[in-house]
Structure 1
Amino acid sequence: MALEIERKYLVDLEKLGTLENGSRIKQAYLSTNKDAVVRVRVKNDKAYLTIKGSNIGVTRLEFEYEIPLDEANEMLDKLCQKPVIDKTRYLITHENHIWELDIFYGENEGLVVVEVELSSEDETIILPSWVKEEVTTDARYYNSNLMKHPFKDWQK
């Protein structure tokens, strides 16, 4: 069984410093419902189809398959719900974990989040100084919800 256990946080970019070697990601959803989402993602020159189950705590089922790039681009263009999520992802190593930092563009411009995958829900992690606030259980920050309710439309 493929499980994803992750925590998500907001980021203070001013405390972070220089970011290097980011990967541009465009992704959108073929299906979103309470039990599962089906996502198409293009990351640089590779493409993936991902199925994620609903969260139980910070854990959920996740299955990911590489697919042909031209087919993924056609799915993004013709089959997926809009808008497409557009972001750059940076991988940052901190205290034996790889943190995936996403800077969003387009409809979600201004949003910066970081995720860290864990080996168990109770695993202890040391937060980097640039982490501001945990948003793991705030559904507004799920990429599938950012498509339906973009960051630019949120009430401040």
Structure 2
Amino acid sequence: MAIEIERKFLINEKLLQKPVKKISMVQAYLQTDPDRTIRVRITHEAAYLTIKGRGNGISRPEFEYEIPVDDAEELLKLAVYPPVEKDRFHIVVNNRTWEVDFFKGANKGLFLAELELDAEDESFEMPIWITKEVTGQEKYHNSYLAKHPFSTWK
């Protein structure tokens, strides 16, 4: 079984030197409930269908499959909430690749970094641009942001 072990952090985008290469993406959710989320994502390179199960700590089952872009565009029309748009940057710090997301659209102004690990207790060095860990906080899940965009937070 595929397991995702991930930690999530807020960042100070002013301390971050963004790489030139970015991946723009749009993603939408076909199902969101505590036991599973089903997501479709389109980037400029490819499209994916992802199924994630209920989390246990910072781990959860994750299955991701590349699908034809035409199919993904049709699946976006079936989404239960408006899509989430963001630019993603891959930033390597001490031989670890961080995925840093600059949200757009209704979530503009939110900046998150994610780090995938091989084990829940794996240690790593925090980059200077990390401000706060938000792992496990539902409001920072992309599926939550689709329902409750950052622009509506008080």
Q: Residue 107 of structure 1 aligns with which residue?
A: 106
Runs (5+) with no aligned partner, structure 2: none
Two-structure CA RMSD over aligned residues (Å):
0.8
Detail structure 1 runs of 4+ shifted over 6 Å in the superposition.
none
Q: Tell me if structure 1 keeps the 8 A contact 2:31–2:39.
A: yes
Q: Residue 81 of structure 2 aligns with which residue?
A: 82
Q: Residue 21 of structure 2 aligns with which residue?
A: 21
The 3-state SS of whatever aligns with 1:75 is: helix
The 3-state SS of whatever aligns with 1:25 is: strand
d(CA) in 1 for partners of 2:134 and 2:18? 24
Matches within 5 A, 1:1-156: 1-76=1-76, 78-155=77-154
d(CA) in 1 for partners of 2:132 and 2:113? 10
The 3-state SS of whatever aligns with 1:38 is: strand
Give the TM-score taking structure 2 as reference length: 0.97
Give the TM-score taking structure 1 as reference length: 0.96
- Using the TM superposition, give the Cα deviation of residue 81 of structure 1 relative to its aligned residue in structure 2, in angstroms: 2.0
d(CA) in 1 for partners of 2:18 and 2:75? 34
- Using the TM superposition, give the Cα deviation of residue 43 of structure 1 relative to its aligned residue in structure 2, in angstroms: 1.3
Q: Tell me if structure 2 keeps the 8 A contact 1:45–1:69.
A: no
- Using the TM superposition, give the Cα deviation of residue 19 of structure 1 relative to its aligned residue in structure 2, in angstroms: 3.0
d(CA) in 1 for partners of 2:54 and 2:94? 29
Runs (5+) with no aligned partner, structure 1: none
Identity level (%): 47
